A = this chain, B = another copy of it.
């Protein structure tokens, strides 16, 4: 799967969005402009707005609309702003020095600018959201922001807790990742005025794709090298955030629990734990990712054949391929 081919149907949409975003951040505050370049320029697949545009185009086709609407374009921008705001604050919270191999805002410009930039982006997105003039979409997206905060808080409260369940992990992943993707896919469909069934399908597609994406990311955190990751291997585990591979490994190798509970204070313990997870945790996590991916694909049944739908299908495969 080639990501350029997948995003081809919405390339022009994405280009326009990129220019609008830079303009929004840069217009009001020179202080943030440098940070904005850093944020919005830092590679990244921009999965969320791509999905908004693809769902917008496929549902517009379903409803015989000649073009997507300005509200759908604005929605894509809001989605990317909210995602970026959460990344910036997350990096401060996790005290993370690099993201996608690039230095983070708070390392480069300080905690102060990072908090400001995050608050500014959240604020702008709330304002744009309010001005979409659609209560259903406002409620959907404000739920996402509440889910984010819940996700941050429950993660902070469960560090190094070996009794964390798969259910708890999926809920946290929903809050931190899938909720935004699900709500934005559904909101894109709302603006095409599709039936309730199709709206629900789009939510399910986004939710399961988001969960698959998160599980894959959590697998790669163990299976890729530091060079591929752009950050040290097993960083989640090191900071006490137990993800799917670790949860499965805890079921299969009893010696892992003591290592995790000691919080890796003894030299070499973290490396031992990473080796165990790689040995007995990855296969089950792959199965979980596959199951979520299948549920995402099943939710596309009501969309008309066409290049937008094909890209939505291919996106699922693209995400899974990274772990095969």
Contact = CB atoms under 8 A, between A and B. Distances in A.
Interface of A: 28-32, 89, 92-93, 111-112, 115-116, 119-120, 122-124, 126-127, 129-131, 133, 135, 138-139, 142-143, 145-146, 148-150, 152-154, 156-157
Contacts of A143: 127, 130
A102 B142 CA distance: 32
10 contacts: A31-B157, A32-B153, A93-B115, A111-B111, A112-B156, A116-B152, A116-B156, A123-B142, A127-B145, A127-B146
Contacts of A157: 29-31
A152 B113 CA distance: 10
A142 B156 CA distance: 28
Contact of A145 (B112, B123, B135): B123
Number of this chain's copies in the assembly equals 2
A19 to B, nearest CB: 21
A14 B122 CA distance: 29
Contact of A120 (B111, B122, B135, B153): B153
A185 B45 CA distance: 43
Most buried by B among A29, A89, A135, A146: A146
Main secondary structure of the interface of A (DSSP, over half): helix
A18 B89 CA distance: 28
Contacts of A142: 123, 126-127, 129-131
A146 B126 contact: yes
Nearest to A140: B130
A171 to B, nearest CB: 13
A146 B120 CA distance: 7
Closest 5 CB pairs of A and B: A123-B149, A130-B142, A120-B149, A127-B146, A126-B142
B153 A116 contact: yes
Contact of A115 (B92, B130, B131, B133): B92
